[in-house]
Amino acid sequence: MNEILWHNRARKQIKKIPVHYREAILESVDQLTIFPKCEQLDIKELKSHKYDYRLRVGRYRVLFNYANVVKIIEIQEVKKRDERTY
């Protein structure tokens, strides 16, 4: 099982998101405890990017890193999808 760590930037960003989106994002992030075995989530590995993976939740993207050795998922940012997201 993985441990989920939220960086301060991601905590501030998620507080600004409307409640119904926020609840969906938090439910999806909770499912990351079994990553990489969570096939029902829309997760994509990012190439040539600051972060390792992105989780798509509606119009929002959760950008995170995964340390396989110690099984820690670090939530780096939560952003609304636009042309500057990646």
pLDDT tens-digit readout, 24-77: 999 999 999 999 888 899 999 999 989 999 999 999 999 999 988 888 889 999
- Expressed as residue numbers, the domain containing 74 is 3-80
In a domain, residue 16? The reply is: yes
Predicted model pTM: 0.84
In a domain, residue 46? The reply is: yes
How many Å apart are CA 20 and CA 52, to the nearest integer?
Answer: 26
With 90 as the cut, is the pLDDT of residue 80 above it? Answer: no
In a domain, residue 18? The reply is: yes
In a domain, residue 85? The reply is: no
With 80 as the cut, is the pLDDT of residue 84 above it? Answer: no
In a domain, residue 86? The reply is: no
Residue 86 — very low, low, confident or very high, per pLDDT cuts 50/70/90? low
With 90 as the cut, is the pLDDT of residue 1 above it? Answer: no
With 80 as the cut, is the pLDDT of residue 85 above it? Answer: no
In a domain, residue 65? The reply is: yes
Report the pLDDT value the prediction gives residue 42, as an integer from 0 to 100. Answer: 95
* CATH, residue 21: 3.30.2310.20
